[in-house]
Amino acid sequence: MDGFILQYIVSGLRSAMSNKSLPGYRYAAIDFDTDFEIDHASMGSTQRMTDAIRLIPPILPDKVFEWLRAKCTSMLNSPTISSSECQAISTMTDCIMSAIPSESVRGSDINQIELAKSIMLLLVQLIDYNGNQNMAIVIYQLQMIVAFSEYMDLYPEILLKCLEKFFGFVVYTQPNEKDFIQQQKILSESTRNLRRKAAASLVRIGSTMPNLLQPLLPQIMPLVSNYIQSSQLMRIEQTLMIEFLVLF
């Protein structure tokens, strides 16, 4: 079952509840299901579906990842990406990557090497994506990169590129939030959540890959210092960035 269908079901239900020209409106008008109940049912269906999908990667890791790669590539190459489509792909990415056994990726067997290479190629594609910068798209782009970051140690040559992308997320602002500290503006909740998640992800990377990060310290330190000195970070973000540096 494709992950997108749930989004269309919810969209269709809401459309029927709001469009008086649709035959379903008369039913929707007497239906006692609220938006909250519809959302709750949708989340329950999504959870059951992801629980079932997590059973497949340990059995067919190569085929499952190929399906995921095709979906992600199609999404990134699309001229228009809906936030619901990106959310569905992000959910599936996290679900599949967390269920692929580590031994399917780490090793010298040809299948392990090929799967690791495919993961890294898709990770680079996600990092390099600079298309639609809608807030929802940026949030899910971060979530997908985080899902792949567990395997960054297999290709240390892309580690700096990935860190720079995380730094970009940490200082991300929407167009109406530029110079928010100087102008004493309040960041939206979605922007704050994005920045905090990126900073927390850096701390996790710092704690799990210190040996790989140490050679990059001369390149990383000036970037972090510049962010702090240029008033681009809030206090919690500064603390997390300093913690990231201290860890290695």
Q: How confident is the model at residue 177 (pLDDT cuts 50, 70, 90)?
A: confident
Distance, in Å, from the CA atom of 179 to the CA atom of 87, rounded to the nearest integer, reads 29
Residue 202 has pLDDT above 70, yes or no: yes
pLDDT at 195: 92
pLDDT band at 37 (very low <50, low <70, confident <90, very high): confident
Residue 33 has what DSSP assignment?
-
Res 186: pLDDT = 81
**Taking the model in full, what pTM does it have?**
0.75
In the chain, what are the domain boundaries?
155-248
Count the Cβ atoms, other than its own, within 10 Å of residue 48: 10
Query: In this prediction, what percent of the chain has a pLDDT beyond 90?
Result: 23
171 and 125 Cβ atoms separated by less than 8 Å: no
What's the rounded Cα separation, in Å, for the pair 163 and 248?
Answer: 14
Residue 242 has pLDDT above 50, yes or no: yes
Question: What is the per-residue pLDDT across 94-106, written as a single tens digit (0 to 9) for each?
Answer: 889 999 999 999 9
Residue 1 has pLDDT above 50, yes or no: no
Backbone φ, ψ for residue 247 (5° rounding): -65, -25
Region label for 34, one of left (φ > 0), alpha (ψ between -120 and 50) or beta (otherwise) = beta
**Segment among 45-59, 135-149, 156-170 with least mean pLDDT:** 135-149
Checking 65-73 for CB contacts under 8 A at 24+ apart, the result is: 65/96, 65/100, 65/115, 65/118, 65/119, 66/118, 68/92, 68/93, 68/96, 69/118, 69/122, 72/122, 72/125, 72/126, 72/144, 73/122, 73/125
According to the model, what pLDDT value does residue 63 have? 92
What is the rounded CA–CA span in Å between residue 37 and residue 126? 34
Give residue 12's pLDDT.
62
pLDDT tens sequence across 48-81? 888 888 999 999 999 999 999 998 888 888 877 7
